[in-house]
Amino acid sequence: MFTIVSLPGDGIGPEVVAGATRVIQALAEKHDLEFSIEEHPFGGASYDAHGEMLTAETLEACKECDAVLLGAVGGPKWENLPHDKKPEAALLKLRKELGLFANFRPAKVYDALVDASSLKPEILSGTDFTVIRELTGGIYFGQPRGYDESKGWNTMVYERHEVERIVRLAFDAAMKRKKRLVSIDKANVLECSQFWRNIVHEIHKDFPEVELQDMYVDNAAMQIVRDPKQFDVIVTKNLFGDILSDISGMITGSLGMLPSASIGTIHALYEPIHGSAPDIAGQNKANPIATIASVAMMFEHSFCMKNIKEEIYAAIEKTLSEGFRTVDIANPGDRVVSTTAITDAIISNLKAS
Ligand code: IPM
Ligand code: MN
């Protein structure tokens, strides 16, 4: 039996997590597997109920289960709280406490959606790369940090061991793919980036088969939209990975398509890249595919069932090719369906496969 903690969170979080949960249940039935899915409050929803975005109980549950499934956190209601009380701070704390130092964000183009992006189909078609973002270090966590009336400050700092473990993992990932790794930094300006680059080259000696390229982050932002097919595996620090993965989102047509897996040595958390989208919350309009694809990543990484991951991806692909679209990926004239309807279609394709 596998134990999953689900943290629906705020905005569209509960809707997309509900869809993904139904997918897990359908897979359990189909493959005769047993899951216990335990829901816990997190984010603004938790703050309203318990006065805290991340309660000790929720954190403990996340530490005890096999995998965490997260929807999204935040919204206008909690925007004016002090910085360290905001839902975003709770998400960072959760990542840190669970030791989730590696964030995988695959950007893959679904053939059926090649027209949904603002980029030209011929540029996109065949794109398949993954961004590996360092998630528990860098400027997101560096001290000192703060602001007063006269200045604001943050610190970008990386310890050697933090760089080594993410870079090693990226080389490993590249070995399992096309053996091409691009390390993205700003070594022409930032000492912290030069430090990162030096370590990347040291570790490269252990992976001589991997073709390594260094790229400055400004150039990388351009290259991702100019010629995304050139990339296989990207590794980068926390802040650059945050920005570049949103850019990569446009390659799949919508952030609503992009899953992610955050992995540490013990724990793992899966979440869509998109936010809580308060403007469409509660309207059954949200795209559940990023969350369903995050479940696919969970089956691969946490449950070692790559076959089921592929089944999920195939069911998503089939559903898209049948013309089902949520509003975020629809072109004029497309059949726009609800969160629940596209989930139903994915589940029926899963059952049929
Ligand atoms: C993401 C988000 C988070 C981040 C925020 C919500 C803290 O943008 O997961 O990309 O910056 O890491
Ligand atoms: Mn982000």
- pLDDT one-digit tens code per residue, 228-244: 999 999 999 999 999 99
Q: Which pLDDT score is estimated for 90?
A: 96
Is 297 a member of any domain? yes
Question: Of residues 111, 218, 227, 279, which has the active-site annotation?
Answer: 218
Task: Supply the pLDDT for residue 233.
Answer: 98
User: From atom 7 of ligand 1, which residue's Cα is the shortest distance away?
Assistant: 88
Domain boundary among 225, 254, 283: 254
270 is a catalytic site residue: no
Domain boundary residue, one of 205, 230, 254: 254
Please check whether residues 235 and 335 belong to one and the same domain.
no
Residue 343 has pLDDT above 90, yes or no: yes
| Structural domain contains residue 117 | yes
pLDDT at 241: 97
5 in a domain, yes or no?
yes
Atom nearest to 95 CA in ligand 1: 12
To 5 degrees, how large is the angle CA 262–CA 325–CA 40?
Answer: 35
Q: Is residue 301 part of a domain?
A: yes
Please, what sign has the CA dihedral across residues 87, 107, 255, 118?
positive
Backbone angles phi, psi at 326, to 5 degrees: -85, 170
Backbone angles phi, psi at 32, to 5 degrees: 55, 50
Closest ligand relative to 105 C-alpha: 1
Q: Considering every ligand atom, which ligand is closest to the CA of 103?
A: 1
Pocket flag, ligand 1, residue 16 (CB < 6 Å):
no
pLDDT at 346: 98
Both 92 and 160 in one domain: the answer is no
Residue 254 has pLDDT above 90, yes or no: no
What amino acid is encoded at 236 in this protein? T
* Cβ neighbours around 89 below 10 Å, total: 16
Residues 81 and 124 in one domain: no
| pLDDT tens readout for residues 293-341 | 999 999 999 999 999 999 999 999 999 999 999 999 998 889 899 999 9
Token pair listed for 353 = 């496969």
Q: Indicate the helix (H) or strand (E) that contains 211.
A: strand 211-216
Q: By percentage, how much of the chain surpasses pLDDT 90?
A: 91
Answer yes or no: do 21 and 94 share one domain.
yes
Q: What is the pLDDT of residue 71?
A: 98
pLDDT for res 116? 82
pLDDT of residue 40: 98
CATH label of the domain that carries residue 166: 3.40.718.10
CA distance 71 to 238: 20
Please tell me whether residues 124 and 239 are part of one structural domain: yes
> Does ligand 1 lie within 6 Å of residue 162's CB atom?
no
Tokens (6 digits) for 348: 């029926």
Residue 82 tokens read as: 């002090």
pLDDT at 246 over 90: no
* Helix, strand, coil fractions of the chain, as percent rounded to 5: 50, 20, 30
Q: What is the pLDDT of residue 341?
A: 98
Residue 250 maps to a domain: yes
Task: State the residue range of the domain holding 65.
Answer: 1-101+264-353
Return the pLDDT at 117: 84
Q: Kindly give the number of the ligand 1 atom that is closest to the alpha carbon of 260.
A: 9
To the question of pTM greater than 0.85 for the whole model, the response is: yes
Residue 206 Cα to ligand 1 middle (Å): 32
172 catalytically annotated: no
Q: 62-76, 110-124, 207-221 — which is least confidently predicted?
A: 110-124
Average pLDDT over residues 73-84: 93
Residue 84 a catalytic site member = no
When pLDDT is cut at 50, 70 and 90, the band that residue 179 belongs to is very high
Query: Considering its fold, how many domains does the chain have in total?
Result: 2
70 with 156, same domain?
Answer: no
Q: Share the mean pLDDT of the chain.
A: 96
CB of 91 closer than 6 angstroms to any ligand 1 atom: yes
Dihedral of the CA atoms 167, 211, 302, 57 (nearest 10)?
Answer: 30
Q: If you count them, how many residues does the chain have?
A: 353
Angstrom distance (rounded) from CA 200 to CA 188: 15
Residue 76 β-bridge partners: none
Pocket flag, ligand 1, residue 113 (CB < 6 Å): no
Q: Are residues 148 and 29 in the same domain?
A: no
**Residue 66 bears catalytic tag:** no
Ligand 1 atom index nearest CA of 103: 9
Q: Which of 78, 242, 246 to mutate to test the pocket of ligand 1 (most atoms within 8 A of CB)?
A: 242
Give me the residue label for tokens 């403990």.
Answer: 60
Judge whether residue 251 has pLDDT over 90: no
CA–centroid distance, 29 to ligand 1, in Å, is 34
209 and 300 together in one domain = no
The active-site residue out of 66, 128, 214, 246 is: 246
Question: Tens of pLDDT along 110-165?
Answer: 888 888 888 999 999 899 999 999 999 999 999 999 999 999 999 999 999 999 99
Is the minimum distance from the CB of 244 to ligand 1 under 6 angstroms?
no
Beta bridge partners of 108: 128
- Active-site residue identified among 242, 270, 285, 328: 242
Pair (350, 225) in one structural domain = no
Question: Is 61:96 a contact under the CB 8 Å cutoff?
Answer: no
32 belongs to a structural domain? yes
Q: How many CB atoms lie within 10 A of CB 31?
A: 12
**Any ligand 1 atom below 6 A from CB of 242:** yes
Instruction: Specify whether 180 is located in the same domain as 242.
Output: yes
Same domain, yes or no, for 74 and 135? no
Starting at the edge strand that comes first in sequence, how are the strands of the sheet with 102-108 ordered?
Answer: 35-39, 2-9, 67-72, 268-272, 259-263, 102-108, 128-134, 233-236, 180-185, 211-216
Residues 268 and 34: their CA atoms lie apart, in Å, by 19
250 alpha carbon – ligand 2 mean position (Å)? 13
Residue 334, domain member (yes or no): yes
250 pLDDT higher than 90: no
Domain final residue, candidates 232, 254, 276:
254
Q: Band of the pLDDT at 37, cuts 50, 70, 90? A: very high
pLDDT at 198: 98
Is residue 259 assigned to a domain?
A: no
* 335 Cα to the center of ligand 1, angstroms: 31
Q: Separation of 353 CA from ligand 2 center, angstroms? A: 34
Same domain, 126 and 227: yes
